[in-house]
Structure 1
Amino acid sequence: MLITVDRRDREDGMRDVEVLVVGAGLAGLRALYGFRAEGFETLVLEASDEVGGVWNHNRYPGARCDVESYDYSYSFSKELEQEWRWTERYPTQPEILRYINHVADRFALRQDIEFQARVDVARFDEATATWEVEVQDGRRFRCRFLVLCLGQLSAPKLPHYPGQDSFAGETIVSATWPKDRGVDFTGKRVGILGTGSSGMQMTPVIAQTAAHVTVFQRTANYSVPAANAPLDDEEDRQVKANYAARRDLMRNSPTGLGFLPGKTKTLDVPEEEREAVFEKAYHRLGFGFALAYPDILLDEKANDAATEFLKRKIGERVSDPDLRRKLVPDNHRFGTRRPSVDSGYYEAFSRDNVELADIRAHPIVSFTQDGIITDIKHHELDVVIYATGFDALTGSILKPDIRGRGGLRLRDKWAGGPLTHFGIGTSGFPNMLIVGGPGSPSVLSNVMVSIEEQVDWFVAFLCHLRECGVGEVEVTEAAEQEWTAHVQERARETLYMTADSFYNGGELPGKPRVFMPYSGGVRNYRRLLQAAATNGYTGFELRPVPKAVEVAHDH
């Protein structure tokens, strides 16, 4: 049996648990359910006062998932699959949050969650092979295993401009949207900084009530229509009758999106046929347009064909020639930065109250008390919204002070870029597991599929350790070096490194320029995980509980 720490609350105020999960978003809840089901005493620490993670915080108008609702859901319970009724093809933030809360209530998960518990420090104690964790309010915890479920896009980044603090109007960050009050834009002049998914989704919604909206665009982005629609009872019945086959297809696809790209390459078909395939994908697949052909993200000429099609489609949605020139991307290929899905973004610029400020051509000079000055205009504003994205993939993990063997700081170890084995562990940090970490498919996949794949593997791993009496497990340096090199090698087979993006650290000045998600596909990644488990968990050193702990428990 796995020997654990004493589970009683200690006299020094330290609370002991077997598995400590950080984060109560989709990954954290799934981890809690999985570990608890196998008898591991598990506790979740959540920084906010509610479950939901990114879907609890990103409450901005128009927030919507770019994965179909039936696929953006848990598969661990057949009863849950059948009883939950999605209302739209691509779910909105409120509906996703209702689903997450339903799961938390239905499976009694809240009883094992400590809310308003933001982790400040986590230190590995080599003498006992345990982690000591402290949250901001001083609460302290000790655990055998530390499982980080902090999300890939959950650490907001903000720009820095002269005079920002002088702005007297309201300032809102899209990633931490106010949830304790409504935000009324009626009659207000609104500035939106950022044209990623958040900016593109909120612009047409806010424009419906605001007196004026100015969109400050540094980089024009590709977007395809969300193709959203209500779900009728017949479609719901058909999906639920064939859910098992649908799930199997998702798990065996490259992206977890539930369909496979064809085997025919983009340029191996006549132009007329290719145009028809693009047209169909454009009006139905959303983000999945990138899989209309298997080589769109691999071959420059294939990508050129897809890129030119999308530029043409964007142009058709923008009537003004000058606006069209600014809104059509010209400095990166389609898919090399995360494309968006939108509902009326380009059409919003045909409204009299919507204006584009091209800050690449005319940079922001400074903020003022009542607006923003570019080098050609003073934009008077009542509200400024930062839809400026995230310190992706590593930002949330490196925010706490995590110290491993010998006091090594994780942020120091990863100073040149993340080093992991399978994206789930790093040497020098025993008994620490990461869900959706750099080096795993994460943002290049339907994250729900990747979350469940990893969590189930983790649970089986800990069961194996318990059966073998293993108290400490650590990634080897050789394994993480080999995997990190493999991640970069697979990335070089694609077009991803031809543009700066949050995939490769290009979203922040000074961030290491390395490719972070695994581009080898969901199916291939799962096979590699399974092979490692079958071969005795290759790449990990398994050690017994330290003698001092064994002696203490004998007494």
Structure 2
Amino acid sequence: MNRAIEDAVAGKEASQTVKLDALVIGAGVAGLYQLHMLRAQGLTVRAYDTASSVGGTWYWNRYPGAKFDSEAYIYQYLFSEDLYKGWSWSERFPGQPEIERWMNYVADRLDLRKDIQFSTTITAARYNEDSRRWMVETDRGETIDTQFLITCGGMLSAPVSDLFPGQDSFKGQLFHTARWPQEPVDLAGKRVGVVGIGATGIQVIQTIASQVGQLKVFVRTPQYVLPMKSPKYGPEDVAAYKARFEELRNTLPYTFTGFEYDFEHHWADLTPEQRLEVLESVYANGSLKLWLASFGEMFFDDTVNEEISEFVRKKMRARLKDSRLCDLLVPTDYGFGTHRVPLESNYLEAYHRPNVEAVSVRDNPIERVVPEGLQTADGRVHALDIIILATGFDAGTGALTRIDIRGRGGRSLKEDWGRDIRTTMGLQVHGYPNMFTTAVPLAPSAALCNMTTCLQQQTEWISDCIKYMRSKKRTVIEPTAEMEDNWVAHHDETADATLISKTNSWYLGSNIPGKPRRVLSYTGGVGTYRKKCDDVAASGYQGFAMQ
């Protein structure tokens, strides 16, 4: 670490400008790897994170029941066999505490902490056209002068928490799941309300139903759910998945979604009996395989999607039994797979408990928070001691629009994306030279990918690009307007062919009022996206202007 950085961290020279080759925003999966690779090139690089330690998503998401729904042995870095094999998972889908420990293991094994500044929020970044560098500001009053600005803030890191009038008036405790406190929250015997039944809300509900005195779940949009099977791992299980390291490294980056499995079957080639056999088999797997490796036609063909949707509905109805609960909790107005599909463990059964009540807010929405609890439009007040908001995120864009980022001519990224969400391959944005991005729209990492697979690919592409620039004595890179136009058009053509584009969800930003409508994630597949990125690099970064 150079002396200027040490002084700034110690607060000895808060007014002094720190000079870097590269600044990384975030110390999660992407940020840690980006820091490691750029440091290996000999760059003066530093990562900044609002959190007090590493982990990104897995630092913040401490809510009850938080866990993987990607298999642990594929949610890992694949650049180092020693790093991969040096950690052993306890089960197929571990919980947040174990995942956070793994992230700390990575930071320690790679000796990354010395180049990370924690408890620091990047508040603004301005591109200086004269110096061709970024001037970055923090909430500590620091200024950092950096050649490259690399955003690794995550695609689900800007929580939607200020939802209802009167939240500050509540006499009890109110939490957003993405900002759950580190100290334990006493739920025993309490009257608890959960708002939101997406993947996060489902994990919370199934976990706390047996702990609380009374649980009210405010249900608006029901979800298709799949049962999770998470067997514990013994030494033989760990040895078995570690022996697959080379296989996984050679497979994951090239599948459709970055998982170990891929679509193997074609609907038209099978009889109805054979299709049912496939669906039963992948359903029994207890993973996301039904969604990501059964029949790809479900994303394009209404008829196929309806048959698969009804298969899942029947499974859910058989578990719920109660007709009112079926009406509330089984989706009928959109198709399976066009939303994020949650895995669960006895989530549906939780509604059978005498202390759990499902409150429909689809036609009777929550109107406000009052001192006693939540008030719905019909005037009813639901008395509560604790309110848990599992209300999601400003996905893909929120991590950056909450920073005042100014590019060429003072243009604002928040304003640009407020009009039209555009990127070039999810790696750069025209008008913002030397700013590289991960986990932003128009790349698979925005939603449709095993995140470590896609984030590794993006950070490697960025690192290779910077290495290429340095070898050619170039100091500035920016996608051309034509390149960005072409990518946006390709992205939209690909997305518009899917049923995802016809279904309101956070995949389209529909959960944020006024957010421009566009499928956030590239839907052409992880392997296809990788090849397109590799082709750009092989061409000498054609479509990216360098100076």
Normalising by structure 1, we get a TM-score of: 0.94
Judged with a 3 Å threshold, the aligned counterparts in structure 2 of structure 1 residues 159 and 286 are, in CA distance, closer, same or farther, namely farther
Residue in 1 that maps onto 2:146? 143
Q: Does the 8 A contact of 1:32 with 1:42 survive in 2? A: yes
Residue in 1 that maps onto 2:388? 385
> Counterparts in 2 of 1:313-462, with a 5 A limit?
313-374=315-376, 375=378, 377-442=380-445, 443-462=447-466
Q: Give me the identity figure in percent.
A: 38
Cα distance in 1 for partners of 2:226, 2:300 equals 20
Counterpart code for 2:507: Y
Cα distance in 1 for partners of 2:501, 2:379 equals 34
SS at match of 1:470: coil
Following superposition, the deviation at residue 247 of structure 1 comes to 2.1
> Counterparts in 2 of 1:492-507, with a 5 A limit?
492-507=496-511
Residue in 1 that maps onto 2:231? 229
Counterpart code for 2:404: D
1:429-457: per-residue Cα shift (whole Å, max 9, x none)?
10000012211101101110111111111
How many residues were matched structurally?
536
Cα distance in 1 for partners of 2:205, 2:5 equals 51
Q: Does the 8 A contact of 2:372 with 2:381 survive in 1? A: no
Cα distance in 2 for partners of 1:123, 1:8 equals 23
Counterpart code for 1:232: G
1:361-414: per-residue Cα shift (whole Å, max 9, x none)?
332243322122332743211000000000000011111000011111111222
Q: Does the 8 A contact of 1:120 with 1:401 survive in 2? A: yes
Cα distance in 1 for partners of 2:134, 2:443 equals 24
Q: Does the 8 A contact of 1:421 with 1:539 survive in 2? A: no
SS at match of 2:93: coil
User: Of residues 202, 210, 215 in structure 2, which corresponds to 1:213?
Assistant: 215
Residue in 1 that maps onto 2:277? 276
1:504-526: per-residue Cα shift (whole Å, max 9, x none)?
11111111011121111110011
1:338-380: per-residue Cα shift (whole Å, max 9, x none)?
1111111101011111110010033224332212233274321
| 1:266 lines up with 2:267 in the alignment | yes
Cα distance in 2 for partners of 1:310, 1:42 equals 48
Cα distance in 1 for partners of 2:135, 2:86 equals 40
Residue in 2 that maps onto 1:197? 199
Counterpart code for 1:500: N
Residue in 2 that maps onto 1:54? 57
| 1:124 lines up with 2:139 in the alignment | no
User: Of residues 238, 241, 246 in structure 2, which corresponds to 1:239?
Assistant: 241
Q: Does the 8 A contact of 2:62 with 2:178 survive in 1? A: yes
Judged with a 3 Å threshold, the aligned counterparts in structure 2 of structure 1 residues 139 and 329 are, in CA distance, closer, same or farther, namely same
Following superposition, the deviation at residue 500 of structure 1 comes to 0.8
Q: Does the 8 A contact of 1:214 with 1:357 survive in 2? A: yes
Q: Does the 8 A contact of 2:433 with 2:476 survive in 1? A: yes
Q: Does the 8 A contact of 1:21 with 1:32 survive in 2? A: yes
Residue in 1 that maps onto 2:481? 477
Unaligned runs of 5+ in 1: 1-5, 544-555
SS at match of 2:297: coil
| 1:30 lines up with 2:33 in the alignment | yes
Cα distance in 2 for partners of 1:87, 1:9 equals 41
Cα distance in 1 for partners of 2:487, 2:29 equals 26
Counterpart code for 1:184: D
| 1:165 lines up with 2:155 in the alignment | no
User: Of residues 496, 514, 519 in structure 1, which corresponds to 2:523?
Assistant: 519
SS at match of 2:418: coil
C-alpha RMSD over aligned residues = 1.6
Judged with a 3 Å threshold, the aligned counterparts in structure 2 of structure 1 residues 45 and 365 are, in CA distance, closer, same or farther, namely closer
Unaligned runs of 5+ in 2: none
Judged with a 3 Å threshold, the aligned counterparts in structure 2 of structure 1 residues 117 and 514 are, in CA distance, closer, same or farther, namely same
Q: Does the 8 A contact of 1:266 with 1:296 survive in 2? A: no
1:48-106: per-residue Cα shift (whole Å, max 9, x none)?
11111111011001111110000001112111111210011012111110000011111
Counterpart code for 1:93: Q
Cα distance in 1 for partners of 2:253, 2:388 equals 37
Deviates more, 1:152-161 or 1:10-19: 10-19
Cα distance in 2 for partners of 1:8, 1:223 equals 49
Cα distance in 1 for partners of 2:288, 2:426 equals 24
Q: Does the 8 A contact of 1:257 with 1:288 survive in 2? A: no
Following superposition, the deviation at residue 116 of structure 1 comes to 1.4
Cα distance in 1 for partners of 2:345, 2:51 equals 30
Cα distance in 2 for partners of 1:15, 1:487 equals 38
Q: Does the 8 A contact of 1:43 with 1:114 survive in 2? A: yes
Counterpart code for 1:335: G
Cα distance in 2 for partners of 1:266, 1:292 equals 9
Cα distance in 2 for partners of 1:286, 1:193 equals 25
Residue in 2 that maps onto 1:547? none
Q: Does the 8 A contact of 1:21 with 1:31 survive in 2? A: yes
Judged with a 3 Å threshold, the aligned counterparts in structure 2 of structure 1 residues 101 and 359 are, in CA distance, closer, same or farther, namely same
SS at match of 2:424: coil
Deviates more, 1:324-333 or 1:63-72: 324-333
SS at match of 2:20: strand
Cα distance in 2 for partners of 1:285, 1:350 equals 22
**Could you list the runs of 4 or more consecutive aligned residues of structure 1 that deviate by over 4 angstroms after TM superposition?**
6-12
Cα distance in 2 for partners of 1:318, 1:525 equals 40
Judged with a 3 Å threshold, the aligned counterparts in structure 2 of structure 1 residues 362 and 267 are, in CA distance, closer, same or farther, namely farther
Cα distance in 1 for partners of 2:186, 2:5 equals 49
Following superposition, the deviation at residue 182 of structure 1 comes to 0.3
Deviates more, 1:152-161 or 1:125-134: 152-161
SS at match of 1:366: strand
Q: Does the 8 A contact of 1:8 with 1:15 survive in 2? A: no
